[in-house]
Amino acid sequence: MKLQIGNAAPTISMVDSDGNNFAIPSGKKIVLYFYPKDNTPGCTAQACNLNENLEALQAKGFQVVGVSIDTNASHTKFKAKYNLAFPLLSDPEHQLAEAFGVWVEKSMYGKQYMGVARTTFIIDENGIIIDIIEKVDTKNHSSQIH
């Protein structure tokens, strides 16, 4: 089932890359963004743009959280390299990606494979999806979040 605006987000309860508990619903507005891989050009641009605008997003009441299938060890290095000030979730079994409908068939150089579709979910305090951004502008992503 493809999630839509107005749907309840899948319930999450896990530990982030910093060792802190993360849950949905959380009582906070959440920018939950799924990205394909740490340290790739588009993913780095997206993370850095969100990080550069983190204070403005937090002033609007948002908690920013990234998700990829990379390990927590990879996330720790990625965060340190770019001084990212928000948590990342490790989803190596792609359970979150599947629950949110972003684990999809992709194609590169004519080869089909499964991977994460870059997608951002804006979730309200009660765990309801209030926006879905599928056409992510990696260099200006924070300006797409309202």
Catalytic pick from 43, 65, 67, 123?
A: 43
Q: Tell me if 26 sits within 8 A of 63, measured CB to CB.
A: yes
- Alpha-carbon distance 8 to 129, whole Å? 6
- Alpha-carbon distance 135 to 86, whole Å? 22
- Alpha-carbon distance 84 to 79, whole Å? 5
Its sign, for the CA torsion 4, 5, 7, 13, is positive
At 109, the amino acid letter reads: Y
Residue 65 has which token pair? 């959280």
Is position 48 annotated as part of the catalytic site? no
Cβ neighbours of 97 (radius 10 Å): 22
Give the residue carrying structure tokens 């079994």.
Answer: 93
- Give the residue numbers annotated as catalytic, written as ranges: 43
